[in-house]
């Protein structure tokens, strides 16, 4: 079946919905989503969305942009960061006007709280910059945007999983998707396609990410030769529930929660004397691991030292219930711990992809390191890399990235499609996907997909995790190549047509393997430590050789590396001290 639209948005998280809202003002727009829209991972975002509103204390977009650049260890494109911080104010008020129920100050303004790495006056002290709706900020953003899209008559194709993109040279002409209900392939022809497919935390064993976060967008594009930017920078959030990885928002520390080791010491005093527990995530995650490795972690069930304590009990029941109700529920359900009374056992969890599909400031996908662009192809949100997060994202800057660049991408599409011709497509653009699905379902016996997934996740966690070194990463690259070889032989066991989740998960596993390989190879290539990429064999940042973005191109089982300049037009790179 073939559908035709001016614009197709793949993904119904915050970034996809915001783009759809803007594009639909002038273009016939469809949103394709493998999940029902409000089940997107944006709905799990807890802590907040940053904007220098200055509602509680003095703040400025310029300080916000600087914090973003420094937080990202100077790999951030500075023009993009300034735009992010400046547009933030309007974006948050726009969400408010659409009915987002933010928490309020006693005077009725949007309330703001502290978050890691957000400071006043270029690093003097923590500032209250995160706007929030209790600890359900993402949920509220998603509901608000979905309502607006319905009101604006955006067409939704829910529970369609895209499996391929139609690219003729550098021109994008649409996508190919499986209808989950029937397993039928549908072709969506469009003048412009925007990818907003979210993150890929599922390449790691312990992650805060939902099961659906399998990086389908970047993987589909990578297989068609689109380069992936800065894949080596993957963020570990310091505070996941021990053993499970479920996120305990940084908002707990923003409200005053503190980290303690086994000796009862507030160990962040050693690592970040000014910001303490509110230092950027890469630093706090490393500090926790360093404490654990030095034998100062708490004792786990298996008698290994593997976690630390996050204590919020001093905040009192009232604050905890009004500002952190969901976190409290998670702790009670999964740990039997009431954060108002006891400390929470936490350990770092794989959380956020700083890298992804390279784009310019309007979401247009970048083709190479010389400024070449694809035509009619866009990406925004976590699957994209614009790059405002550089080597390490600050908390609350992702939700902001979704709305600021979602709006810009959608606006650009609305104009672009006015003058664009209808794209040309080959005779049967769905045939490569159909052939692959026939093969997966031919009833032969193949290796166990579950085992491949487990091996990939454990290998990535152990060898391409918080601390890295040459030997381990080389092994990880080889392992991913071997697992991709095995994957080529896998078969689905369920060969029926209705809601065949076996088939869809198998396709997702292929995507995860491609992204694992790109991540491991990009990490092995970068011979320095910067932001979330911490190498034991190259412990220092090396601006002379490595102040540049990686562009990684998938070529069969190999990864070819190229580079792209970093925009450092505003602030000179300095050592990061907090």
Ligand X SMILES: Cc1cc2nc3c(=O)[nH]c(=O)nc-3n(C[C@H](O)[C@H](O)[C@H](O)COP(=O)(O)OP(=O)(O)OC[C@H]3O[C@@H](n4cnc5c(N)ncnc54)[C@H](O)[C@@H]3O)c2cc1C
In the complex, what is the shortest distance from the CB of residue 568 to ligand X, in angstroms, rounded to a whole number? 24
In the complex, what is the shortest distance from the CB of residue 384 to ligand X, in angstroms, rounded to a whole number? 8
144 vs 529, beta carbon nearer ligand X: 144
Site for ligand X in 329-358 (CB under 6 A): 352
Measured from each CB, the residue nearest to ligand X is: 13
Site for ligand X in 232-271 (CB under 6 A): 247, 249
Give the helix/strand (H/E) hosting 282: helix 281-293
Which one of residues 53, 134, 241, 399 is an interface residue with ligand X (CB under 6 A)?
399
Count Cβ atoms below 10 Å from residue 15 Cβ, excluding itself.
36
22 vs 382, beta carbon nearer ligand X: 382
16 near ligand X, judged by CB under 6 A: yes
162 vs 279, beta carbon nearer ligand X: 162
Residue pair 552/521 in contact (Cβ under 8 Å)? The answer is yes
In the complex, what is the shortest distance from the CB of residue 477 to ligand X, in angstroms, rounded to a whole number? 25
Report residue 476 as tokens.
């990880």
In the complex, what is the shortest distance from the CB of residue 475 to ligand X, in angstroms, rounded to a whole number? 28
Residue pair 334/244 in contact (Cβ under 8 Å)? The answer is yes
19 near ligand X, judged by CB under 6 A: no
- Cα 15 to Cα 90, 405, 489: the distances in Å are 16, 8, 35
Contacts of 214-217 with CB under 8 Å at 24 or more apart are 214/508, 214/509, 214/511, 214/512, 215/353, 215/383, 215/511, 215/512, 215/515, 216/34, 216/161, 216/162, 216/163, 216/507, 216/508, 216/511, 217/10, 217/11, 217/162, 217/357, 217/379, 217/383
Q: Which residues are registered as beta bridge partners of 228? A: 552
Count Cβ atoms below 10 Å from residue 402 Cβ, excluding itself.
31
Helices (H), 152-278: 216-223, 251-254, 268-271
What is the residue whose two structure tokens read 């970068």? 526
Which one of residues 6, 8, 15, 111 is an interface residue with ligand X (CB under 6 A)?
15
Q: Which stretch binds ligand X (CB under 6 A): 12-20, 55-63, 273-281, 472-480?
A: 12-20
Among the options 113, 114, 128, 281, which is catalytic?
A: 281
- Angle of the 449-463 helix axis to the 501-525 helix axis, nearest 10: 30
- SS3 at position 312: coil
Count Cβ atoms below 10 Å from residue 79 Cβ, excluding itself.
15
Q: Please spell the DSSP secondary structure of 115-174, one letter per residue.
A: EEEEEETTTTEEEEEEE-STT-HHHHHHHHHHHHHHHTT-EEEETEEEEEEEEETTEEEE
Residue pair 358/366 in contact (Cβ under 8 Å)? The answer is yes
305 vs 502, beta carbon nearer ligand X: 502
Site for ligand X in 206-235 (CB under 6 A): 208-209, 212, 216
Nearest CA to 493 among 433, 448, 523?
448
In the complex, what is the shortest distance from the CB of residue 340 to ligand X, in angstroms, rounded to a whole number? 21
12 vs 460, beta carbon nearer ligand X: 12
Which one of residues 218, 381, 429, 531 is an interface residue with ligand X (CB under 6 A)?
381
Site for ligand X in 155-194 (CB under 6 A): 161-162
- Cα 204 to Cα 128, 209, 246, 392: the distances in Å are 32, 10, 13, 17
236 vs 267, beta carbon nearer ligand X: 236
In the complex, what is the shortest distance from the CB of residue 556 to ligand X, in angstroms, rounded to a whole number? 23
- SS3 at position 518: helix
209 vs 261, beta carbon nearer ligand X: 209
In the complex, what is the shortest distance from the CB of residue 301 to ligand X, in angstroms, rounded to a whole number? 24
Distance CA 261, CA 237 (A): 17
Site for ligand X in 411-440 (CB under 6 A): none
62 vs 326, beta carbon nearer ligand X: 326
- Cα 207 to Cα 199, 482, 502, 510: the distances in Å are 11, 23, 22, 19
In the complex, what is the shortest distance from the CB of residue 382 to ligand X, in angstroms, rounded to a whole number? 4
Site for ligand X in 40-69 (CB under 6 A): 40-42, 44-49
Q: Which stretch binds ligand X (CB under 6 A): 61-69, 260-268, 394-402, 438-446?
A: 394-402
Site for ligand X in 473-512 (CB under 6 A): none
In the complex, what is the shortest distance from the CB of residue 161 to ligand X, in angstroms, rounded to a whole number? 4
Torsion of the alpha carbons at 362, 366, 371 and 376, rounded to the nearest 10: -60
137 near ligand X, judged by CB under 6 A: yes
**Total residues at interface with ligand X (CB under 6 A):** 44
Residue pair 131/89 in contact (Cβ under 8 Å)? The answer is no
Nearest CA to 176 among 384, 382, 425?
425
Site for ligand X in 525-564 (CB under 6 A): none
Which one of residues 5, 8, 9, 13 is an interface residue with ligand X (CB under 6 A)?
13
Which one of residues 149, 354, 402, 520 is an interface residue with ligand X (CB under 6 A)?
402
Report residue 107 as tokens.
């005077």
Which one of residues 5, 7, 9, 14 is an interface residue with ligand X (CB under 6 A)?
14
Nearest CA to 348 among 291, 294, 276, 304?
291
Site for ligand X in 191-210 (CB under 6 A): 196-199, 208-209
In the complex, what is the shortest distance from the CB of residue 353 to ligand X, in angstroms, rounded to a whole number? 8
In the complex, what is the shortest distance from the CB of residue 542 to ligand X, in angstroms, rounded to a whole number? 28
185 vs 476, beta carbon nearer ligand X: 185
- Cα 479 to Cα 215, 438, 472, 487, 534: the distances in Å are 19, 27, 10, 12, 21
Catalytic residue list contains 281? yes
Nearest CA to 357 among 286, 396, 409?
409
Which one of residues 68, 239, 396, 433 is an interface residue with ligand X (CB under 6 A)?
396
392 vs 396, beta carbon nearer ligand X: 396
32 near ligand X, judged by CB under 6 A: yes
35 vs 81, beta carbon nearer ligand X: 35
29 near ligand X, judged by CB under 6 A: no
Residues carrying an active site annotation: 281
Residues contributing to the site for ligand X (CB under 6 A): 10-16, 32-35, 37, 40-42, 44-49, 137-138, 161-162, 196-199, 208-209, 212, 216, 247, 249, 352, 381-383, 396-399, 402
């Amino acid at each position: 079946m073939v559908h035709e639209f001016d614009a197709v948005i793949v993904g119904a998280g915050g970034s996809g919905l915001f783009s759809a809202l803007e594009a639909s003002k002038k273009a016939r727009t469809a949103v394709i989503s493998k999940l029902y829209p409000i089940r997107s991972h944006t709905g799990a975002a807890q802590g907040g969305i940053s904007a220098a509103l200055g509602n509680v204390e003095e703040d400025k977009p310029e300080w916000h942009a600087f914090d973003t650049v420094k937080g990202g260890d100077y790999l951030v494109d500075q023009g993009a960061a300034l735009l992010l911080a400046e547009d933030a104010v309007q974006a948050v008020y726009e969400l408010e006007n659409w009915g987002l129920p933010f928490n309020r100050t006693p005077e009725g303004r949007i309330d703001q709280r502290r978050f890691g790495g957000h400071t006043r006056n270029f690093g003097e002290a923590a500032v209250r910059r995160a706007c929030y709706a209790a600890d359900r900020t993402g949920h509220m953003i998603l509901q608000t945007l979905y309502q607006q899209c319905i009101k604006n008559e955006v067409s939704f194709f829910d529970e369609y999983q895209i499996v391929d993109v139609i690219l003729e040279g550098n021109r994008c002409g649409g996508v190919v998707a499986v209808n989950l209900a029937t397993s039928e392939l549908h072709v969506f022809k469009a003048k412009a396609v925007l990818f907003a497919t979210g993150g890929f935390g599922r390449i790691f064993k312990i992650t805060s990410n939902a099961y659906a976060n399998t990086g389908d967008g970047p993987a589909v594009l990578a297989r068609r030769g689109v380069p992936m930017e800065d894949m080596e920078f993957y963020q570990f959030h310091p505070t996941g529930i021990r053993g499970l990885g479920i996120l305990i928002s940084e908002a707990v520390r923003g409200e005053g929660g503190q980290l303690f080791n086994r000796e009862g010491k507030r160990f962040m005093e050693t690592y970040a004397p000014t910001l303490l527990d509110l230092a950027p995530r890469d630093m706090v995650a490393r500090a926790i691991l360093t404490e654990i490795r030095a034998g100062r972690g708490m004792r786990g069930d298996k008698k290994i030292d593997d976690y630390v304590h996050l204590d919020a009990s001093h905040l009192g029941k009232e604050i905890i219930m009004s500002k952190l109700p969901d976190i409290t529920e998670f702790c009670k359900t999964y740990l039997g711990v009431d954060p108002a009374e006891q400390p929470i056992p936490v350990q770092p969890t794989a959380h956020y992809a700083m890298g992804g599909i390279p784009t310019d400031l309007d979401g247009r996908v970048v083709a190479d390191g010389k400024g070449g662009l694809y035509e009619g192809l866009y990406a925004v949100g976590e699957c994209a890399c614009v790059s405002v997060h550089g080597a390490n994202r600050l908390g609350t800057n992702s939700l902001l990235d979704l709305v600021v660049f979602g709006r810009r991408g959608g606006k650009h599409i609305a104009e672009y499609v006015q003058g664009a011709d209808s794209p040309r497509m080959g005779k049967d653009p769905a045939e490569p996907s159909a052939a692959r699905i026939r093969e997966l379902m031919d009833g032969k016996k193949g290796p166990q997909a579950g085992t491949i997934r487990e091996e990939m996740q454990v290998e990535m966690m152990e060898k391409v995790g918080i601390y890295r070194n040459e030997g381990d990463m080389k092994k990880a690259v080889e392992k991913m190549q071997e697992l991709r070889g095995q994957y080529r032989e896998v078969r689905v066991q369920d060969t029926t047509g209705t809601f065949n989740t076996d088939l869809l998960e198998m396709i997702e596993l292929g995507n995860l393997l491609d992204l694992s390989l790109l991540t491991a190879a990009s990490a092995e290539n970068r011979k320095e430590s910067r932001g979330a990429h911490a190498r034991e064999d190259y412990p220092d940042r090396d601006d002379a050789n490595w102040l540049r973005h990686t562009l990684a191109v998938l070529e069969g089982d190999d990864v070819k590396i190229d580079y792209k300049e970093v925009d450092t037009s505003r602030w000179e790179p300095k050592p990061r001290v907090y």
